[in-house]
């Protein structure tokens, strides 16, 4: 494996992965819907291809490519504006994936890695952490579209012998993170009291470094072919503990207030933030023992070190602003 194409190359994970692989001597071709307005010197090629569901001439871009890592996707939208979100998710996540897999550019590709989501298993654990071979029970249009895309990947695998790998991460954090994790860091930094002292949950997280290291392993490890893997830091954390880790890395106090989970749930429902609150107070764990055994792989970055690196990035960005 010498040349890798990465879709979604300007996203949080995609940008990190392209740099991660290029620094390890691989020839990387990144593709994205559009090029960033701020041009930087990169260690890899970067191409704009537009909407991948509208038809892309992949052949010239994929010349000499051995492996594809497909990250491009329509992800959660905080304030969804689409009248039919499932159709919008399917257009990119299912149709876009299928068009790429069936394109002429795939003729020389040996391995295809698809980044799915742990949410194809569900939103919460009831009895034990999810395992990769558990029944899929996706909730919501995003998770349903990712499950359908997984099915497309498997069908292509069965019909043309392409080696495929599916990776299902939980929440991914690290330098460059946005969304809820960034908002949480900002609140801790501002000293805003957070009402989670009584929450006794357990959530799996994945450092972007650990995720990218697993992707690298899946590019080269023969045992990865045809498999699906869960990934995490292998060290689950409760929301209050996560806040304390962030605060400690910032050298600030963790301001936690004791509010019952039932009140948090009701309040979130009244203001239309039920899903967001569920991610903060519910449990969502994954069991990565099979991933580690199959690939003889271990997450190289601990949860504490991953949080520290993320906070360091956050403080640098704040200083430069």
Active-site annotation, residues: 142
Round to whole Å and give the CA distance between 32 and 11.
8
Is residue 143 packed enough to be buried (19+ CB in 10 Å), middle (13-18) or exposed (0-12)? buried
Phi/psi region, residue 79 (left: phi>0; alpha: psi -120 to 50; beta: rest), is beta
3-state SS assignment for residue 286: strand
List, in sequence order, the alpha helices (H) in the chain. Answer: 12-22, 58-61, 85-90, 97-101, 140-160, 179-189, 208-220, 239-249, 261-270, 274-281, 289-295, 303-320
Task: Please count the residues of the chain.
Answer: 321
Give yes or no for a contact between 223 and 314, defined as CB atoms under 8 angstroms apart: no
């Amino acid at each position: 494996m010498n040349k890798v194409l990465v879709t979604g190359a300007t996203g949080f994970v995609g940008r990190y992965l392209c740099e991660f692989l290029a620094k390890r001597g691989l020839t990387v071709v990144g593709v994205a819907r559009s090029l960033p307005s701020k041009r930087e010197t990169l260690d890899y090629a970067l191409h704009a291809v537009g909407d991948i569901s509208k038809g892309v001439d992949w052949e010239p871009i994929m010349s000499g490519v051995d492996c594809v890592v497909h990250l491009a996707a329509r992800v959660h939208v905080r304030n969804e504006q689409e009248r039919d979100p499932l159709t919008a998710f399917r257009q990119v996540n299912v149709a876009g994936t299928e068009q790429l897999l069936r394109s002429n550019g795939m003729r020389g590709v040996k391995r295809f890695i698809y980044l799915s989501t742990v949410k194809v298993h569900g939103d919460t654990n009831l009895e034990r952490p999810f395992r990769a071979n558990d029944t899929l029970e996706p909730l919501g249009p995003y998770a349903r579209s990712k499950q359908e895309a997984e099915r497309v990947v498997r069908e292509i695998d069965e019909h043309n012998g392409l080696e495929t790998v599916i990776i299902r991460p939980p929440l991914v954090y690290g330098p460059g993170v946005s969304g809820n994790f960034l908002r949480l860091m900002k609140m801790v930094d501002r000293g805003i009291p957070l009402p989670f002292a009584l929450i006794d949950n357990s959530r799996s997280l994945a450092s972007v470094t650990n995720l990218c290291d697993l992707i690298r392993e899946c590019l080269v490890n023969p045992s990865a072919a045809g498999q699906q893997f869960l990934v995490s830091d292998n060290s689950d954390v409760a929301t209050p503990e996560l806040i304390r880790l962030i605060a400690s890395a910032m050298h600030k106090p963790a301001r936690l207030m004791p509010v019952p989970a039932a009140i948090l749930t009701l309040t979130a429902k009244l203001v239309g933030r039920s899903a967001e609150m569920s991610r903060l107070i519910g449990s969502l764990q994954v069991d990565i023992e099979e991933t580690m055994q199959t690939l003889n792989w271990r997450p190289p970055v601990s949860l504490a070190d991953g949080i520290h690196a993320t906070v360091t990035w956050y403080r640098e960005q704040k200083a430069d602003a």
